[in-house]
Amino acid sequence: MKYTLSVQVENHFGVLARIAGLFSARGFNISSLSVAETEDPTISVMTIVVEGDEKILDQVKKQLNKLIEVIKVKDVTFLDYVSRELALIKVKIDAQRRREVIEIADVFKGRVVDISHENITIEVTGDSKKLDAVVELLKSYGIVEMARTGRVAIIRG
Amino acid sequence: MLTGAKILIESLKKEGVEVIFGYPGGVVIPIFDVLYEEKDIKLVHVRHEQGAAHAADGYARATGKVGVCLATSGPGATNLVTGIATAYMDSIPMVALTGQVATSMIGSDAFQEADITGITRSITKHNFLVKDVNDLARTIKEAFYIASTGRPGPVLVDLPKDVLVSKTEFNYPDKVELRGYKPKVKIHLGQIKKAVEMIQEAKRPLIYYGGGVILGNASNELVEFVKKSGIPITSTLMGLGGYPGDYKDPLYLGMLGMHGTVYANYAMHNCDLIIAIGARFDDRVTGKLDEFAPNAKIIHIDIDPSSISKNVIVDVPIVGDVKDILIEMNKLIKPVKIKEWLDQIAIWKEKYPLTYTKDSKFVKPQYVIDKLSELTKGNAIIATEVGQHQMWVAQYYQFVKPRTLLTSGGLGTMGYGLPASIGAKVAYPDKTVITIAGDGSLQMNIQELGTAIAHDINIKIIILNNAYLGMVRQWQELFYSKRYSGVCLAKTDKNGEMCGYYPDFLKIAEAYGFWGKRITTNEEVEKALKELLEVSGPALLDIWIEKEENVFPMVPAGANLTQMIGGLA
């Protein structure tokens, strides 16, 4: 199963390496990891999606807590939380296909962020399933390039 | 205004550091320059950086204080790695200081540059790269705080050349502010109550304790707990000395696990309640995990939450300082009614004692340790290397006080013992400090004989010399049809027969200025040991032991604790 952890860390040089190193040294699997500074510039938040069973999750949390630069580990998996991923997808187009791609983007509440004679780039946010669905649909048009973030999460309320 | 190097040394003094084990090199010359006229901190300059790390570790284990080692950038720093990993696996408080190339050069593959914080990330409790001299004093404060609190461990501080030579005001902070590190945990009294209730109801309880008792200075509390409850007790390798070792004590079962006593392993397998105190259910202790103590509930006292339910599922975890927890438990605990269980244990103890015979051409190693234990009465500090001799020490030396056994338990580092004994002897010049070594292990850091001589560090060395890497040979004998591959340290003739021991340790002793003696028979043991202990300076005793003597009993890898070889006759 996949668990989502929201981890507050000191915004120090090398913290990401420390956390990634912990996962590789202990044989834990990271499905995705995203990191960004918070409103407090001394703190970053990492959203880590971990794959494993409960025992592994328990160890992951404890081992993360052991790191000096980890301030707080929150397991949001079973909490009421909002999570998002973002994808930027560049699709090959011609005049006729352009309209179809834009329609698909509209259905998924995506936005066109760039357009040229050959390509169109759309931006979609949502959970993994929604993004997978968009990607699947756009595949038939020919995806030139794609960039996708990991999951970010925040507890509701 | 002080230079970074001066600030470093002043900071170490604030932390009460009295000795640094170090080796110089290009970028750390500014530190050695400060040490040149430093009166309060002694520099023990070793012959190899690995020796510095192990010596600092030995000093820390013997004293409980933070050990400090120092090496230059690049190869100096990487030579510390095994020593740091050794300390990490056994939770030893240590601060490793390394030089680094100037901040402007970092990442340029400069001369003697190594990314030591990257390299040591997974073998340190924490590490720092100091990029600004203004952060230096605070970083040292934090390093000592992290190394010595909670579950202790090594902390590395990497010091670029420019940080060491640039100047700033020296202000040593009073307190540490680390929001991500709160080592003081409040003890859960409810859990303690629950544990005590379980203990009172148990029919076959067993205390299984480890190095945490030593690290947490909780020996007295443990002894009180055993006295008050009347529960039998077994120790891990790391725990030896935490409870006074005496096989005549009906509650004391000695060490358990792969080379533990038969009765300790039987007791563990058959108990209905394990009270684990500062021990971590290592694979050398549990044997085959899914057949480990099949009928036992588990109470686990540990300072590190990540040790709880890591290898075995725990019923009642109690997280916190072992001393504080035992003090609380001692308030509640009453004698348990377990006569049948104690009778059973007495039967096992009677039937399956540790034994050896003396009908041998060469010396029986067990006899040496037995005799040494008798002669020193547990009043010596014993450092070991790793292998058969280490296990014989664990079985036959009766450690009666904490911090008297220095041994690499977790990492199993050959080459640890000699430098560790140097560290301990520096801390306690008046105590007898003995390294017990195999002929293989001793050669891994044999250059440290020079350190001992140069600094008048009066250590005693006993080599149990079988011209083999004995433990690996034992495995090859038992599990690989005696196909001895890469284990013979002697010269062999065309037929593969041994025809000479190398090196000649007496010549090595002489070359370094050690007193040296060799014995080859059991009859000589007692006299030679007495002589060794009485020699005034550093001394080495080369004892030729039975070449193919095995360490028994033995739980083969992957077997459960009752499936022992040897010792069951």
Work out the minimum CA distance from A50 to partner chain B, whole angstroms.
17
- For residue A25, what are the contacts with CB-CB under 8 A and spacing of at least 6? B122
Which residue bears the tokens 């187009």? A93
Identify from A66, A71, A73, A74 which residue to disrupt to test chain B contact, counting B C-beta atoms within 10 A and taking the largest count: A66
> Which of A144, A79, A64 is closest to B305 using CA atoms?
A64
B115 near A CB under 8 A? no
B220 residue type, one letter: N
Within B14-137, strands assigned E span 19-22, 42-45, 67-71, 94-100, 126-129
pLDDT 10s digit of each residue in chain B, 569 long? Answer: 999 999 999 999 999 999 999 999 999 999 999 999 999 999 999 999 999 999 999 999 999 999 999 999 999 999 999 999 999 999 999 999 999 999 999 999 999 999 999 999 999 999 999 999 999 999 999 999 999 999 999 999 999 999 999 999 999 999 999 999 999 889 999 999 999 999 999 999 999 999 999 999 999 999 999 999 999 999 999 999 999 999 999 999 999 999 999 999 999 999 999 999 999 999 999 999 999 999 999 999 999 999 998 999 999 999 999 999 999 999 999 999 999 999 999 999 999 999 999 888 999 999 999 999 999 998 999 999 999 999 999 999 999 999 999 999 999 999 999 999 999 999 999 999 999 999 999 999 999 999 999 999 999 999 999 999 999 999 999 999 999 999 999 888 888 777 788 999 999 999 999 999 999 999 999 999 999 999 999 999 999 999 999 999 999 999 999 999 987 75
Q: Which residues pair with A143 in a beta bridge?
A: A91
> Are the Cβ atoms of B306 and A59 closer than 8 angstroms?
yes
Q: What is the per-residue pLDDT for B247?
A: 96
**Residues B95, B101, B103, B109, CA torsion sign:** negative
- For residue B127, what are the contacts with CB-CB under 8 A and spacing of at least 6? B116, B117, B120, B121, B155, B156, B157, B158
B305 near A CB under 8 A? yes
Residue B144 a catalytic site member: no
For B147, the closest chain A residue by CA position comes to A68
Q: What is the per-residue pLDDT for B77?
A: 98
CB B94 within 8 A of CB B67: yes
Q: What is the per-residue pLDDT for A151?
A: 87
> Are the Cβ atoms of B306 and A62 closer than 8 angstroms?
yes
Residues of B in contact with A13 (CB under 8 A): 129, 131
Work out the minimum CA distance from A46 to partner chain B, whole angstroms.
15
Which of B268, B414, B471, B564 does the annotation list as catalytic? B471
Half-sphere exposure of B367 (CA within 13 A, CB side): 22
Residue B112 a catalytic site member: yes
Give alpha helix (H) positions in B149-218: 161-165, 189-201, 211-215
Residues of A in contact with B126 (CB under 8 A): 67-69
Q: What is the per-residue pLDDT for B139?
A: 98
Which of B1, B111, B527, B548 does the annotation list as catalytic? B111
Q: What is the per-residue pLDDT for A94?
A: 86
Buried b (16+ CB within 10 A) or exposed e, B397-435: bbbbbbbbbbbbbbbbbbbbbbbbbbbbbbbeeeebbbb
Tell me how many degrees the CA angle B247-B248-B251 measures, rounded to the nearest 5.
75
Residue B200 a catalytic site member: no
- What's the token pair of residue B75? 């190869």
Identify from B124, B155, B306 which residue to disrupt to test chain A contact, counting A C-beta atoms within 10 A and taking the largest count: B306
> Which of B341, B279, B351 is closest to B311 using CA atoms?
B279
Interface ipTM = 0.86
Half-sphere exposure of A32 (CA within 13 A, CB side): 16
Q: What is the per-residue pLDDT for B409?
A: 97
Rounded to an integer, what distance in angstroms lies between the CA atom of residue A89 and that of residue A139?
Answer: 10
pLDDT category of residue A13 using cuts at 50, 70 and 90: confident
Residues of A in contact with B145 (CB under 8 A): none
Q: What is the per-residue pLDDT for B569?
A: 54
Closest in A14, A63, A71 to B306, CB measured = A63
Q: Using CB atoms within 10 A of its CB, is residue A47 exposed (0-12), middle (13-18) or buried (19+)?
A: buried
CB B534 within 8 A of CB B370: no
Interface of B with A in 138-167 (CB under 8 A): 146
For A61, the closest chain B residue by CA position comes to B306
Which of B65, B125, B141, B161 does the annotation list as catalytic? B161
Q: How far is CA B42 from the centre of its chain?
A: 24
Residue B525 zone, left/alpha/beta (φ > 0; ψ -120 to 50; rest): alpha
Which of B15, B21, B32, B49 does the annotation list as catalytic? B49
B251 residue type, one letter: L
> What string of DSSP letters covers B334-385?
-----HHHHHHHHHHHHHS--------SSB-HHHHHHHHHHHHTT-SEEEE-
Q: Number of Cβ pairs closer than 8 Å across A and B?
A: 40
Three-class secondary structure of residue B436 per DSSP: strand
B289 near A CB under 8 A? no
Work out the minimum CA distance from A68 to partner chain B, whole angstroms.
5
Read off the pTM: 0.94
Asked whether the predicted pLDDT for residue A128 surpasses 90, the reply is: no
B126 near A CB under 8 A? yes
CB A25 within 8 A of CB A67: no
Residues of A in contact with B179 (CB under 8 A): 10, 71
Residues of A in contact with B131 (CB under 8 A): 13
> Are the Cβ atoms of B126 and A68 closer than 8 angstroms?
yes
Residue B225 a catalytic site member: no
B232 residue type, one letter: P
Q: What is the DSSP letter of B153?
A: -
> Are the Cβ atoms of A17 and B121 closer than 8 angstroms?
yes
Half-sphere exposure of B290 (CA within 13 A, CB side): 0
Closest in A14, A55, A66 to B306, CB measured = A66
- For residue B5, what are the contacts with CB-CB under 8 A and spacing of at least 6? B30, B31, B33, B34, B164, B165
Buried b (16+ CB within 10 A) or exposed e, B17-35: bebbbbbbbebbbbbbbbb
Identify from B158, B181, B308 which residue to disrupt to test chain A contact, counting A C-beta atoms within 10 A and taking the largest count: B181
CB A7 within 8 A of CB A64: yes
**In Å, what is the CA distance from B63 to each residue of A93, B90, B403?**
74, 15, 7
Rounded to an integer, what distance in angstroms lies between the CA atom of residue B151 and that of residue B304?
Answer: 6
Asked whether the predicted pLDDT for residue A113 surpasses 60, the reply is: yes
B168 near A CB under 8 A? no
Helix H or strand E encompassing A17: helix A15-26
pLDDT digits (tens, 9 = 90+) for A93-104: 888 888 999 999
Helix H or strand E encompassing B389: helix B388-396
Three-class secondary structure of residue B509 per DSSP: helix
Helix H or strand E encompassing B493: none
Q: What is the per-residue pLDDT for B241?
A: 98
Asked whether the predicted pLDDT for residue A87 surpasses 80, the reply is: yes
Residues of B in contact with A69 (CB under 8 A): 126, 180
CB A85 within 8 A of CB A149: yes
Residue B471 a catalytic site member: yes
Closest in A10, A22, A68 to B146, CB measured = A68
Q: Which residues pair with B463 in a beta bridge?
A: B437, B542
- Beta strands B94-100 and B67-71, pairing class: parallel
Tell me how many degrees the CA angle B390-B396-B397 measures, rounded to the nearest 5.
80
